[in-house]
Chains A and B, each alone.
Chain A
């Protein structure tokens, strides 16, 4: 068996174990939180009678272990169940929300990943001169500001003052692709600004590291253009750390954008998860948690594979 296939198989098996562990942790977490779904739904207006009725209705009067294994058994068969809070089918609700989240994340990724790598290369090319300093200053400023503030500023300028874009990024099935793209313009811009610095700085550092090597000096002595040296000779050897950082940021774009979703009223997974955590709606929290964990594990696996493929020594082990 090819070593890479073997590695992938190993990592996939490990990933499944991790998912199982994650589901146990999420379940325990929701049990530790004060209150339960009945108390959360009925809120301030809960009476003892209504609470008892609702708990019996939802099956919350049974032991936690029973409920967990019942959920696990169904989930393994692909049945995520229905939300306790409003009785909607979880798979149905999630698929729409997940699509929205992936749409926003991919728009932001399409802009931010090439841009950050290009800016990183540019920063190395003009190392310690003004373009390098300008790029670092701008990206570090935008990552240092809280994302909601960036969101408000951009919303104020481009929506309230200039009227170019909608401040509410609501998207729905009735919209065409371009309308959707227009709707997510502002949140995608903010997300790009948030993730840019991390990837740019890592690209810059990784390439600078390689630039110390003897073979780069050889390339210089051959008389190659400086940007060609960086892009053609230094970059391939710096791919492993860059890919790792890119994957971490991609995962963040999918699972960590709840603040942006709230500010721009974007119907993604983050807000959906938060609503259900505050209602203690365990099946939904489990389902979202598993999806998020899968994305994290999957992207990390992908990063590892790309690192190995980019390194001949790992690609052909002795």
Chain B
């Protein structure tokens, strides 16, 4: 960096020169605009957070049917407004470790069956009422009630009792569970007064911002809540979420400066958008994956040779290149990748092998085409991915018959109903949760119909195991079981691709979810 550029950079970070002027000077010195944005961003970052300003976020994934009730959150906009206005007991940080939020201490008994969470003192709800352990307990009770319609019901099933002891909430589980605190970071479990039993869709929460306006499917606005306990976050005075479901409209709004932050940049335009002046595209490797799933108990997929044939007949590298445009990594027919704690990297990577596929296919004795159902809504690029699969399988003598289904009703009529279809998984913070959600014999969403008693035993053993070495070995064995016997074909793990412009700073990659796990507007700050 030459002296002149360093001088301009210093003036720009000190606020004596605006961002556009800096970009102009940098361009005059022959610095590409993306590089100049990067320089400015890192310089501003080094300077530390600045309080004040307004943040507009443009998001895909909001509908006019959205509700404030945390039990109903299922798409990106509710996910993010829950992060802005609400608070959970714990959070998971960028390294995948737990961090205190509403709870500042937590501990387990030696058998990992009783967990205590001490509630941070001095916290208050947006109406000034203090946050008590009883509110927390009621929240957890509402989400674990069998009558509830909560999206968190599935993960709350293993909890046997919820009680309050002074400022501490005590949970006991039916079987030992070393990962229980991770469940408390679920985005549905937002603390509400009396657990939301009285007013589930009420605006009173305890997060860093309070609700101002709420127009579902259009916009949601927030202002900073001064009673929030953590001064290290919530730098913007006000935040606005604009629901912009159309990707082109979202990118235009970002380029024209109407919004500072956008989610879900399509991989096909990410490279182009990154070249636009002042825009930074952030790609974060995560745990979400795109899958083709077979029901391992339904003919013809009850034959493991046919499953193995199909697993060898898919070209994973090609899909990462063409469907994800490189914004992702290859999968290994198990739902776990290196972003998970206790991942065993020594499990060999399965690759495209038409000869092996042909061998297994002939041994399976199956003849005729295999029906694969797919819709654009299954995952972005699902129909194209199915075509690539068809081509690579044809080279091994396997005839895939692609049946295109409508997006509308796909999750109720095709997924988890038809024996072979395309789908996606968002990933979970820990291996136990991923496997318990979809691979345990009794799981609600066992969408590969994987019934393996040995696997179930291993899962329960690993869940209660507090020694990480032994746990890792157990998870490794489970991964291999799913990979070699399960009904999952996992060609790729997708990155989250988000974008922001130079008016905001403080982006940190967070593998737990898109948009810094939903915290981007709360953790970033103004650089305008």
Which residues of chain A (18-75) have a CB below 8 Å from chain B? 33-35, 39-50, 53-54, 57
Residues of A within 8 A of B154 (CB): 45, 47
Q: Are B244 and A34 in contact (CB under 8 A)?
A: no
| Cα-based distance from A34 to B154 in the complex (angstroms) | 25
In whole angstroms, what is the CA distance A87 to B243 when docked?
Answer: 20
Binary CB contact string for chain A from 223 to 264 against chain B (1 if under 8 A, 0 otherwise): 000000000000000000000000000000000000000111
- B246 near A263: Cβ-Cβ < 8 Å: yes
CB within 8 Å of B: which of A144-171?
A: 152, 155-156, 159-160, 163, 166-168, 170
B137 CB within 8 Å of chain A: no
Q: Which of B5-13, B58-66, B497-505 is the interface stretch?
A: B58-66
Known pairs A49-B146, A167-B258; A279 contacts B65 (CB<8 A): yes
Q: Are A86 and B246 in contact (CB under 8 A)?
A: no
- A316–chain B nearest beta-carbon distance, Å: 50
Q: How far is the CB of A155 from chain B (nearest CB, A)?
A: 5
Using a CB-CB cutoff of 8 Å, which residues 72-117 of chain A contact chain B? Answer: 83, 85-88, 93, 96
Would you call A47 and B153 a contact (CB within 8 A)?
A: yes
Q: Which residues of B contact A304 (CB under 8 A)?
A: none
Q: What total of chain A residues lie within 8 Å of the partner, measured CB to CB?
A: 48
Chain B nearest CB from A204 CB (Å) reads: 35
Q: Which of B63, B219, B246, B423 contacts A172 (CB 8 A)?
A: B219
B111 within 8 A of A: no
| Interface residues of B, dominant DSSP | loop
A113 CB to closest chain B CB (Å) equals 28
Do the beta carbons of B409 and A34 come within 8 Å of each other? yes
What residues on A are CB-neighbors of B423 within 8 Å? 44
A160-B255, A263-B248, A281-B65 known; A53+B149 contact, CB < 8 A: yes
Closest to A96 in B: B215
Q: What residues of chain B lie closer than 8 Å to A166, measured between beta carbons? A: 253, 256, 258
> Which residues of chain B come closer than 8 Å to A179, judged between CB atoms?
none
Q: Complex: how many Å from CA A254 to CA B245?
A: 21
Is A294 at the interface (CB under 8 A from chain B)? no
B382 CB → nearest A CB, Å: 14
A272, B217: Cβ atoms closer than 8 Å: yes
Q: Which residues of B contact A86 (CB under 8 A)?
A: 65-67, 72, 201, 216
Residue of B nearest to A85 (CB): B65
Known: A87-B67, A172-B219. A278 touches B252 (CB 8 A): no
Say whether A167 contacts B219, CB under 8 Å. Answer: no
A120: CB under 8 A from chain B? Answer: no
**Closest residue of chain A to B424, judged by CB?**
A44
For chain B residues 434-474, which have a beta carbon within 8 Å of chain A? Answer: 444-445
Task: Tell whether B148 is near chain A: CB-to-CB under 8 Å.
Answer: yes
A96 to B215, CA, bound (A): 10
A152 to B248, CA, bound (A): 8
Q: Is the CB of B413 within 8 A of A35?
A: yes
Interface centre among A35, A44, A263 (most CB of B within 10 A): A44
Can you name 28 A-B pairs with beta carbons within 8 Å? A33-B408, A33-B409, A34-B412, A35-B409, A40-B412, A43-B74, A46-B411, A47-B445, A49-B153, A53-B148, A85-B67, A96-B215, A155-B249, A155-B252, A166-B258, A167-B253, A168-B242, A168-B244, A170-B242, A172-B213, A262-B249, A263-B246, A263-B248, A272-B64, A275-B65, A275-B217, A276-B65, A279-B65
Known: A45-B154, A267-B217. 20 other contacts (CB 8 A): A33-B408, A42-B74, A43-B74, A44-B423, A45-B445, A46-B411, A47-B153, A50-B153, A54-B149, A166-B258, A168-B58, A262-B246, A265-B243, A265-B253, A271-B64, A271-B217, A272-B64, A275-B217, A276-B65, A281-B65
Q: Which residues of A contact B (CB under 8 A)?
A: 33-35, 39-50, 53-54, 57, 83, 85-88, 93, 96, 152, 155-156, 159-160, 163, 166-168, 170, 172, 262-265, 267, 271-272, 275-276, 278-279, 281
B-to-A contact residues, CB < 8 Å: 58, 63-67, 72, 74, 146-151, 153-154, 201, 213, 215-219, 242-246, 248-249, 252-253, 255-256, 258-259, 408-409, 411-413, 415, 423, 444-445
